[in-house]
Structures are given as C-alpha cells and as structure tokens.
Amino acid sequence: MKKHVFIIGGGVAGAEAASQLVKMGFDVTLAEKETQIGGKLNQWDRLFPSKRKAAEVLDFINKNLVDSKARVLFNTEISKISKQNGGYKIYAGIEECTADAILISTGYDVFNARIKEEYGYGIYENVITSVDLEEMFRNGNKIFNSNKEEPKRIGFVHCVGSRDEKVGNHYCSQVCCVTAVKQAMEVKEILPRAEVYCFYMDLRMFGLQFEDLYRESQEKWGVNFIRGRVSEAAENIDGTILIKVEDTLAGRPLKMKVDLLVLMVGFVPSAGTTEIGKMLNLDLTPENFLKPADEHLDTSSTNLKGVFIAGTCKSPKTIADTFADARAATLKIKEFLEGSEK
C-alpha cells in the first residue's frame, strides 16, 4: 500500500511539493480553496529579479502538477482534522480522507492597508497598494489615476504593515523593498516622463542581483530614493495626495504632492494558515506564523508528529526560497514515511 500525503494549499509551495512527492512514489491529495493553482502568483505580472512573466512560473508548476497526476480538490476547505490509526482523518469539503502525513502550505495574506488609516487606502482613490499596481500591469500596463489621467508623480511607501510597532508587526517582510524597486522601474518604462519617489526606512536588497536592480533603478531610470517614513497622506480637492515625510538623511520634514501613492504591503499569516494552525493546535512563532520544530535543524516538521509545513505559512519568502523550502519538506516527509527519520 502506498503511503498517502494530504497537502493543504496549492500555491507554489503546495503544488511543487505535490509533484515531488508523487515522483517519490507517494499517493498525494492536494486541497486548494480557490479554483486555480498558484496562489499569489496569479496576481503578479513580472517577477523580480529578472522581470520574467509570472505566467511562465505558473505554467511550470501547473504542468508538473498535471503530469504528476496528483489528486487535486479545488474549491475545497478543511473543516476538521482528527488523529486516526497513527495517521490523520481530514474532512475536506464533502470528502473524508485518511492520510499518513499532512503538509500545510497555506501561505500568507498581504497586510490590510486600511488598518493604516493615516494613508487613506480605501478612502482616497489615488492611494493604491503594490497588489493593485500589479493588477494594472497585468491589465495591459494601464496606469491611470482616478481622473483617468497618467500620473506625473508617483510615490512608493515602503514597510506598510511591516516593521511597525503601531500595527504589532515588528518583522521585515523581505520582498517589498525589491518589489518597490522593480515596480518603480516598470512605471518608468511605461511613463518615462513621470517622477518616481521611493520612501524607505532601510533598503533591504538581500538577494543576488537585488542590489543591481537598485542601481539600475537610479542610473537608468532616474528613480528617486528618500529615506524617511511617510507619516500621513491627505487628499487635495483635485484628488492628488499630499504626503508628509520626515527626510531622515536631510534631517528636515518634507511635504510632497503626488498623483498616485503606492503602499508596499507586507506579509501576514494567511487566514487559512491561522485556521489550520488552530485546528491542529500547532506552535506559532511570536509573529503568528507556523513554527518549525527546530529553527536550524528541522524547519519542515512541527510540534505534531506527521504534520509538516512549507512556504510562506512559516515566514515571508521569495518564490525561489519557497520552491527550495517545499522540496526540503518533501525530503523530510519521505524520511518520516519510510521510517528513516532520526
């Protein structure tokens, strides 16, 4: 009898793990609450660092998953999980499945920018998020403000919902600095005459080629970087946005009018991650992501035997790191199911 692995969440992490586990000889069922595989990747247009189309990566994971013949349940959420005969019984939609191991890959949500009331997201039409801007890119690079005019000056606000005591999120979301730099360059490609400003606290360009993107954004595209936190945004009568910033390099307060303000929203644990964590009574990190059994030696297992985690349900990550993490989790699951775990 083949051992059965049940995967919850079909983003990059869950889809990649499913194809790999089938290759290893296991039966795999993947439950995804939406109607498609790929998670957040479906919302992005071009990816850092190379600016390749997100659709290329999506095609890769979809093809691998279809070829693997893993069983995929779409539109399916989990209502209950109980222990049974050394394994688990999972109530998934209208089905009841048994599994020898569970992999949780329920990902992240982006921070709800409405919580930062001082920026006016959801109130002022010309305040948008990085997710909204990706949608504009996907819809044929149509960047307009609420008056259907091309914006002449655009501001990007870093660290929205991250590194912010006020909202209780102290951690860095890792990918929003490089996403801001990528998006700022894309805006300049589409609107070469627009002035683009990034307002940052520190620039965390940690990956290979990220620093090159930062340089390119200034040298080739003329993107301006101002170190300082935007304290508030207010709408002018013509719909433009007045922002107040403390320029911490120049040591003086600054006021600027922009036609479009883009909030770089950070990562929070997804609602699905929190829900499954509670259902199984899994240990959480202080930031409320799912906690690995050991921060160095075993980042795929949890406090519950036979339950594993992969991807951004445990911390913010790039796509490359999510792929690597999913593959690491499959090796740990294989060890567990074959009884070779130390």
Ligand X SMILES: Cc1cc2nc3c(=O)[nH]c(=O)nc-3n(C[C@H](O)[C@H](O)[C@H](O)COP(=O)(O)OP(=O)(O)OC[C@H]3O[C@@H](n4cnc5c(N)ncnc54)[C@H](O)[C@@H]3O)c2cc1C
Q: Which residues contact 208 (CB under 8 A, 6 or more apart)?
A: 49
Considering the rule CB under 6 A, would residue 263 count as an interface residue with ligand X?
no
- What percent of the residues of the chain are helix, what percent strand, and what percent coil, each to the nearest 5? 30, 30, 40
Which one, 17 or 263, has the nearer CB to ligand SF4?
263
Among residues 186, 322, 336, 337, the one that binds ligand X under rule CB under 6 A: 322
Among residues 20, 29, 106, 330, the one that binds ligand X under rule CB under 6 A: 106
Q: Which does 330 bind (CB under 5 to 8 A by kind): ligand SF4, ligand X, none?
A: none
- The distance from CA 6 to its chain's CA centroid, rounded to whole angstroms, is 22
Q: Which does 126 bind (CB under 5 to 8 A by kind): ligand SF4, ligand X, none?
A: none
Considering the rule CB under 6 A, would residue 289 count as an interface residue with ligand X?
no
Which one, 204 or 314, has the nearer CB to ligand SF4?
204
E strand or H helix at 332, and its extent?
helix 319-337
Residue 155 burial (CB count, 10 A)? 27
Q: CB 161 → ligand SF4: shortest distance, Å?
A: 8
Distance between CA atoms of 249 and 34, rounded to whole angstroms?
45
Map residues 24-43 to x or -, x wherever contact with ligand X holds by CB under 6 A. Answer: -------xxxx----xxx--
Sequential DSSP letters for 191-252: -TT-EEEEEESS----STTHHHHHHHHHHTT--EEEES-EEEEEE-TTS-EEEEEEETTTTE
Considering the rule CB under 6 A, would residue 159 count as an interface residue with ligand SF4?
yes
Considering the rule CB under 6 A, would residue 157 count as an interface residue with ligand SF4?
no
Among residues 19, 20, 29, 105, the one that binds ligand X under rule CB under 6 A: 105
Q: Is the peptide bond before 49 cis (omega within 30 degrees of 0)?
A: yes
Q: Which does 204 bind (CB under 5 to 8 A by kind): ligand X, ligand SF4, none?
A: ligand SF4
Considering the rule CB under 6 A, would residue 90 count as an interface residue with ligand X?
no
Among residues 3, 46, 163, 314, the one that binds ligand SF4 under rule CB under 6 A: 163
Q: What strand order describes the sheet that includes 252-258?
A: 230-235, 241-247, 252-258
Considering the rule CB under 6 A, would residue 185 count as an interface residue with ligand X?
no
Among residues 172, 184, 213, 313, the one that binds ligand SF4 under rule CB under 6 A: 172
CB 43 within 8 A of CB 134: yes
Q: Which residues contact 260 (CB under 8 A, 6 or more apart)?
A: 126, 128, 143, 145, 151, 153, 154, 155, 241
What's the first-to-final CA gap in the chain, in angstroms? 23
Size of the site for ligand X (CB under 6 A): 40
Which one, 9 or 292, has the nearer CB to ligand X?
9
Considering the rule CB under 6 A, would residue 272 count as an interface residue with ligand X?
yes
Unique residue bearing structure tokens 């600027």: 256
Considering the rule CB under 6 A, would residue 175 count as an interface residue with ligand X?
yes
**Please, how many CA atoms are within 13 Å of residue 173, restricted to the half-sphere of its CB?**
24
Considering the rule CB under 6 A, would residue 317 count as an interface residue with ligand X?
yes
Beta strand pairing call for 95-99 and 252-258: unpaired
Stretch that binds ligand X, among 2-10, 142-150, 229-237, 300-308 (CB under 6 A): 2-10
Among residues 59, 96, 189, 202, the one that binds ligand SF4 under rule CB under 6 A: 202
Considering the rule CB under 6 A, would residue 162 count as an interface residue with ligand SF4?
yes
Q: Which region holds residue 107: left if phi is over 0, alpha if psi is between -120 and 50, else beta? A: left
Residues lying near ligand SF4 in the complex (CB under 6 A): 158-159, 162-163, 172-174, 176-177, 202, 204, 264, 266
- Interface residues toward ligand X, by CB under 6 A: 8-14, 31-34, 39-41, 44, 47-48, 77-78, 105-108, 110, 130-131, 134, 175, 179, 270, 272, 275-276, 311-312, 317-320, 322
